[in-house]
Amino acid sequence: MPYARRRRASSRPEPNGSGYNGLSSPGGHSTSLNAARRTRELAEVAETTVDVLVVGLGATGAGAALDAAARGLSVAAIDANDLAFGTSRWSSKMIHGGLRYLARGQVGVAAESAAERGVLLARTAPHLVRAQPYLLPLTPRVSRRTAAAMMAGYRMGDAMRAAARTPRRLLPGPSRLDAAHALRLVPGLAPDDLRGALLSWDGRVVDDARLVVAIARTAAGYGARVLTRCRAIELRGDGAVARDELSGRLLTIRARAVINATGVWAATLDPSISLRPSRGTHLVLGPGTLPHSRIGMHVPIPGERGRFALVLPQPDGRVHVGLTDEPVEGPVPDVPEAPESDVTFLLDVLNSVLAEPIGRSQVAGTYAGLRPLLAGDGRTADLSRRHAVLTSPEGIVTVIGGKLTTYRRMAEDAVDRAVALRSLQAGPSPTARLSLVGAASGAVRGPWRLVERYGAEAQAVQALAEADPALAEPVGPGVIAAEFAWGARHEGALDAADLLDRRTRVGLVPSDREAALPAALAAMS
Ligand SMILES: Cc1cc2nc3c(=O)[nH]c(=O)nc-3n(C[C@H](O)[C@H](O)[C@H](O)COP(=O)(O)OP(=O)(O)OC[C@H]3O[C@@H](n4cnc5c(N)ncnc54)[C@H](O)[C@@H]3O)c2cc1C
């Protein structure tokens, strides 16, 4: 059933008999998150013992909250900041089939990635995840041997797609293009000495933060209490001491099982965890900086075998260019910064294939994220991206590592462990079959720009703009004020930063953020 239908008369009771004035879900609860619901549910969790407490609401924690709630367990899920505040919003947005892991012989990791990509594309989030074409330009730097090896790799990736039963209509196979065709697809390429290009396809999510919001709201639709601005100060096997970051009040949350899904911050709550984070930086180029193209690019990194920079056009017209992989030491910052050396490196790699080089002044924004990698030997670029589920002597279940693509599987494994550890009454995970909020069972109406980001809810967002002309006004590239209103009413945004930096991504370019701030503040008032 599509989620977009407005709740007029609910066929199933609201939790605790309260009316949310929100959107319905197959889970029987409203999927709307907002300040009023947070206040009410924060008070409720202080008075009850939940089956599962999930700490951290990135993709992994939101996934665990959904997994547990959909199995019928009572759930409280808390985040110190906001949905998708951590690494989950700093990804490259690839929902990938694990080609890179295949190249390293990590067949199991690649197969898991390919399977989860298929789940997202075909079943759970077809509105947010779709096929993205990438072009690998065959410049003199790419030897014929390397090109042949890359094509063989893409074909293996296609075989993994077939093994995962993802239909080819959702993810076409690779092909080789001549130079003229490559230049038509990516007009900014340097034409000199271009032998042609390899075209391959992989999955991509329209916006990683929106994926997290959709997972968290789906969890709320199954009755999970999703509480942002609620920081775990101390974790135990039977709950946590937490602080409401808005009031400063401390509360005790009692739980039968506890899942620590705090990613790169996991060791702050369970010191037995040892992480070796690595920083990945992206550049953000404003609309028009590169000649328009919807095609992404794999740009070979000079001197590195099998490593590529990624050029990823965004729906808002911006283009993201990533990404670095640098080990980092010391305390984990709330928001990592991209050092100038990363910016120079990425520009050099990009310019190696462009006809007109991009200068530093044309970089509109940058962002960096920290990969929550488990400590191991070797370079961080070589550490396995497989996830781990660890249980502390006290009984805290930590789920760590992995990637955005495999969030669902990570969540399932963590909840399986928690269920077994505490002998909770719950069946197997149903999440591979559960559509996320916004997934539609049929054709979706509404402006394409909204459909791309809101799926079946696009019409409801558009209706806000039609009812109030002020909400039809643009507030950033490709974003209208109605999206801010929607974020505050239904997507759990509690302040202007939530709207600018996570419900929309206007904030990725500082000047756009500044210009949109008054509209975001108005939406929150
Ligand atoms: C640069 C980069 C690019 C990447 N690209 C891709 C990609 O293209 N595809 C892909 O599949 N994967 C990618 N990944 C990997 C992927 O982004 C991460 O593995 C994934 O997002 C981790 O999600 P998480 O939920 O485990 O952690 P996070 O998203 O970091 O979530 C942890 C949450 O815990 C909260 N928290 C912390 N401490 C506390 C506390 N005390 N109490 C309550 N809450 C707390 C934080 O606020 C945060 O919201 C990339 C990673 C990086 C760094």
Token pair of 423 as six digits: 């002998």
Residue type, 117: R
pLDDT for res 205: 97
Signed CA dihedral, 338, 341, 344, 349: sign only: negative
Joined together, the tokens standing for residue 220 give 């709320």
371-402 pLDDT, tens digit each: 988 876 454 444 456 789 999 999 999 999 99
pLDDT in tens, 203-235: 999 999 999 999 999 999 999 999 999 999 999
Average pLDDT of the segment spanning 288-292 = 92
Please report the pLDDT score of residue 17 as a whole number: 29
Check whether 265 has a pLDDT greater than 50: yes
Residue scoring higher pLDDT (302 or 281): 281
Please indicate whether residue 359 or residue 23 has the higher confidence score (pLDDT). Answer: 359
CA 211 and chain centroid, separation:
5
User: pLDDT band at residue 456, thresholds of 50, 70 and 90?
Assistant: very high
Instruction: Tell me: pLDDT of 236 over 60.
Output: yes
Contact 414/388 with Cβ under 8 angstroms?
A: no
Predicted local confidence at residue 104, as pLDDT? 75
Pocket test for ligand 1, best of 57, 60, 91, 246 (most atoms within 8 A of CB): 91
Highest-confidence segment of 246-260, 311-325, 361-375: 246-260
Left (φ > 0), alpha (ψ -120 to 50) or beta: where does 446 sit? left
The response to whether residue 371 sits with its C-beta less than 6 Å from ligand 1 reads yes
- Among the ranges given (6-20, 38-52, 225-239, 312-326), the one the predictor scored with the smallest mean pLDDT: 6-20
Please give the Cα distance from 257 to 340 (Å, whole number): 43
Q: What angle do CA 512, 521, 467 make, to 5 degrees?
A: 95
For ligand 1, say whether the CB of 86 is within 6 Å of any of its atoms.
yes
Q: Label residue 292 by pLDDT band (50, 70, 90).
A: confident
87 CA → ligand 1 middle, Å: 3
* pLDDT at 453 exceeding the cut of 80: yes
Given this model, what pLDDT does residue 324 score? 85
Distance CA(465)–CA(481), nearest Å, equals 8
> Which residues, 6+ apart, have CB-to-CB distance to 343 below 8 Å?
281, 283, 360, 363, 366
User: What's the distance, CA 45 to chain centroid?
Assistant: 27
Q: 429 with 69: CB under 8 angstroms?
A: no
Kindly state if the Cβ of 58 falls inside 6 Å of ligand 1.
yes
**Ligand 1 atom with least separation from CA of 242:** 42
Q: What is the pLDDT of residue 256?
A: 98
Residue labelled with tokens 């050092």: 339
54 Cβ closer than 6 Å to some ligand 1 atom: no
- Asked if residue 42 lies in contact with residue 230, where contact means CB atoms within 8 angstroms, the answer is yes
Cβ within 8 Å of residue 111, ≥6 positions away: 98, 160, 163, 164
- For residue 94, the ligand 1 atom closest to its alpha carbon is 8
On whether the pTM is more than 0.75, the answer is yes
pLDDT mean over 92-111: 84
Cβ neighbours, 10 Å, residue 322: 27
The reported pLDDT for the residue numbered 121 is 96
Q: Do the Cβ atoms of 262 and 54 come closer than 8 Å?
A: no
Residue 382: the pLDDT is 45
For the Cβ of 93 lying below 6 angstroms from any atom of ligand 1, the answer is: yes
- H or E segment and range at residue 231: strand 230-236
222 alpha-carbon distance from chain centroid:
21
Provide the pLDDT for residue 384.
54
If you average pLDDT over every residue of the chain, what do you get? 91
The rounded distance, in Å, linking the Cα atoms of 41 and 48 is 11
Across residues 343-350, what is the average pLDDT? 96
pLDDT at 131: 97
Ligand 1 site, residue 264, Cβ cutoff 6 A:
yes
* Residue 385 confidence (pLDDT): 60
Contact 216, 109 (CB under 8 A): no
Average pLDDT of the residues in 271-300: 93
Separation of CA 303 and ligand 1 centre (Å): 29
Tokens in use for 243?
């602080």
Compare 470 and 378 and report the one with higher pLDDT. 470
Q: What is the largest CA-CA distance in the chain?
A: 70
pLDDT tens profile 168-205: 999 999 999 999 999 999 999 999 999 999 999 999 99
Across 2-11, 292-301, 391-400, 514-523, least confident range: 2-11
Residue 427 DSSP class: -
Share of the chain above pLDDT 90, in %: 80
Note the pLDDT tens digit of each residue in 125-169: 999 999 999 999 999 989 999 999 999 999 999 999 999 999 999
Yes or no: say if 431 and 124 are a contact pair by the CB < 8 Å rule. Answer: yes
Once rounded to an integer, what is the mean pLDDT over residues 336-360? 96
Q: What is the pLDDT of residues 388-447, one digit of tens each?
A: 999 999 999 999 999 999 999 999 999 999 999 999 999 999 999 999 999 987 778 888
pLDDT at site 12: 29
Rounded-to-integer distance, Cα 277 and Cα 512, Å: 30
Burial 284-296 (b: 16+ CB within 10 A, else e): bbbbebbeebebb
